[in-house]
Homo-oligomer: A and B are copies of this chain.
Amino acid sequence: MNYQIRIIPGATYLGNHQTEFVVWAPLAEDVSVHILEPQERVEKLVSTDQVYHRGILKDVKPGAKYKYILQNGKETKEKPDPASRFQPIDVHGNSEVIDLNFHWTDGSWKGIPQKELVLYELHIGTFSKEGTFKGIESHLDELCNLGVNAIELLPISQFPGNRNWGYDGAYHYAVQNSYGRPEDLMHLINLCHSKGIAVFLDVVYNHFGPEGNYLGDYAPYSSQYYHTPWGHAMNFDGHGSDGTRNFFIQNAIYWIRDFHFDGLRLDAIHAIVDPSATPFLEEMMEDINELKTILGREICIIAESDRNDPRFIIPQSAGGIGMDASWNDDFHHSVHTLLTGEKDGYYSDFGSIQELAKCYRDAYTFTGQHSEFRDKRHGKFPTGVPDENFITFIQNHDQTGNRMFGDRLSTLVDWEGLKLAAGAMFFSPFIPMLFMGEEYGEINPFLYFIHHLDQQLVEAVRKGRREEFKSFAWKGEPFDPQDESTFLKCKLNRDLVKDKKHRGLLDFYKKSIELSKHFRLDGTMDRKSMETISFEKQKVLILRYYGNEKLLIFQNYHKEQNVISVVWNGEWEKIMDSNDVAFQGKGELIPSCLNFANTKELLLQPLSIMVLKQKVN
């Protein structure tokens, strides 16, 4: 299982005008490379096993364009390379030979230790005016200034057209041509590293986009037996599945090794159906761990999973899959429902202070209880899994993009609620992740948008989108996902920061990140020395940390002022208050120094969060 002896699919430039072509194509009798530019020619690849076809071609330099000719008897097809490193025209066009050499200057970069991560999810097309890799670069200093130390790029796999919300990529080795070229991505990552920012990539190993994917002509990428709500599952355990596995494992290695990514976020691993003795993800982690050792820098592999299954983030030595961290939807849903009162879909399972409290204590709200929404018991208690293996967020691309109007929290809840939600995330023991723009309360939506070239598919998507929202309480028609204006609506508008309200929120984020990073690293914010006190009726939650430092975090989810009885002793210093006028709050009700000998009741502002630290005499 040595990653070095695996087979690297695609066209690899070897130097000296030589390029190696390797394609997994057990469904073709013969495969030839059709070089289309600069000089047309056809060369047959060799297969010794009728599984992989290979050949080293002379006089093929970076920039050469090619397709594969697949031959079965008299039938021939000409298709792009599934492992294409670049599609200069589109998903249907020629593939391009790429030179992966780049003048890296990040030799001393060791990455960010997992426990220190402050992640920032961003969509390349809408993050900057330019909508490109290059467009990100001028904003990196803002992110550093905010306290973010890792950006997580939504998928960059080549998709049809010029714009896509991210999950219709058909070429998982090719960067989207409208975002830039592979070397532009390398330039961005190199620059990030020079500024102390790690770069994560969102990769989709559970499906391929519906347009421009010619996998079925090449190999059994799809499962014969399993389906997901999105269609055929990928083939990770059937005949020929070693090939599917190799394709994706090499893909993970490609981004980490050749592009210097610091980690991956794996999309929807619950849609990877794979009951093998050694599941694909476990095999992938074996190889990545080996690579980690070789590279000698921090690599963090994050799962998106809605299954609340700790197995994914338990080390292999303890019988787990060995991924490093997992998104925690329960935390999002708890905070979201407390603030919005929404009850549609999966939100129907959430909405109480106790549920949020359980999520702080047990990392998941659902650890085996019955879920109404799922109509079954859900989740498992994550015994022994450390805090930094859970990624929390109060917004992300899904929680906005899956809404009919792509609403961000800023347009759904009272402004004070934004600080409360952010504070709830930052002062949790878990790793925080922001969604681009939330730090200053961006109000532009993040919508589902596409730019498919196949008009039948466009109609099908439009129809599906309308159907999808029928069961929700939203009124009206969804925006047309294909219309360019839908995409343009989603661009960040940083001019908002000129407004005091937005500026105040940004300052709250900065201060919270700084403070919480400190208490996360000094061992104060840790579930091992934490308790929760829930006031269900008042909608108040108190977190008490009693590790290195003693902290009390008061969260009031009520839209009214609230009085709660308190039972502590000693003198406490208030180190953070969302009501602070510096954050454009409603004004502080609690003094900056508090002696609980004289204080038995606290008056809390509506939708507020406050952090107290015990004074040490």
Contacts and interface: CB of A to CB of B under 8 A. Distances in A.
A275 B277 contact: no
B242 A370 contact: yes
A281 to B, nearest CB: 11
A276 B309 contact: yes
Interface string A306-324: 0111110010001110000
Interface in A244-274: 270, 273-274
A375 B240 contact: yes
Interface stretch (A208-216, A376-384, A582-590): A376-384
Nearest to A283: B377
Copies in the complex: 2
A374 interface: yes
A277 B380 contact: yes
Contacts of A318: 318-319
A62 interface: no
A42 to B, nearest CB: 30
Contacts of A229: 225
A405 B617 CA distance: 88
Contacts of A228: 225
A270 B270 CA distance: 19
A368 B278 contact: yes
A222 to B, nearest CB: 13
A307 B274 contact: no
A139 interface: no
A3 to B, nearest CB: 15
A274 B273 CA distance: 9
Interface bin, chain A: 35 or more
Interface string A153-190: 00000000000000000000000000000000000000
A311 B314 CA distance: 14
Contacts of A270: 275
A241 interface: yes
A8 to B, nearest CB: 18
Nearest to A238: B376
Nearest to A370: B242
A307 B378 contact: no
A470 interface: no
Most B CB within 10 A of own CB, among A228, A229, A278, A308: A278
A377 B242 contact: yes
Contacts of A319: 311, 314, 318-320
Contacts of A374: 239
Contacts of A276: 307, 309
Interface string A211-241: 0000000000000111111000000011111
Nearest to A220: B375
A205 to B, nearest CB: 15
B225 A308 contact: no
A354 B461 CA distance: 56
Nearest to A225: B227
A239 B374 CA distance: 6
A378 B238 contact: no
B379 A277 contact: yes
A277 B309 contact: yes
Given A226-B226, A227-B226, A374-B239, A307 B275 contact: yes
B278 A275 contact: no
Contacts of A309: 276-277
Nearest to A236: B376
Given A225-B226, A307-B275, A239 B320 contact: no
A539 to B, nearest CB: 29
23 contacts: A224-B227, A225-B228, A225-B273, A226-B226, A237-B376, A238-B376, A239-B376, A240-B376, A242-B375, A273-B273, A273-B275, A274-B275, A275-B307, A276-B309, A277-B307, A277-B308, A277-B310, A277-B368, A278-B368, A278-B380, A318-B319, A319-B319, A319-B320
Nearest to A382: B277
Nearest to A367: B277
Most B CB within 10 A of own CB, among A273, A275, A276, A375: A275
A320 B319 CA distance: 7
Contacts of A379: 277-278
Nearest to A314: B319
Nearest to A270: B275
Nearest to A378: B277
A322 to B, nearest CB: 11
Contacts of A227: 224-226
Contacts of A375: 239-240, 242
Nearest to A312: B277
Nearest to A237: B376
A239 B371 CA distance: 10
Interface in A273-311: 273-278, 307-311
A314 B318 CA distance: 11
Nearest to A242: B376
Most B CB within 10 A of own CB, among A276, A320, A374: A276
A374 B239 CA distance: 6
Nearest to A235: B376
A1 B377 CA distance: 11
Nearest to A243: B376
Given A225-B226, A226-B225, A319-B319, A241 B376 contact: yes
Contacts of A380: 277-278
Contacts of A1: 368
A356 B311 CA distance: 33
A240 B375 CA distance: 5
Nearest to A224: B227
A543 to B, nearest CB: 26
Interface in A10-41: none
A278 B376 CA distance: 11
A319 B317 CA distance: 10
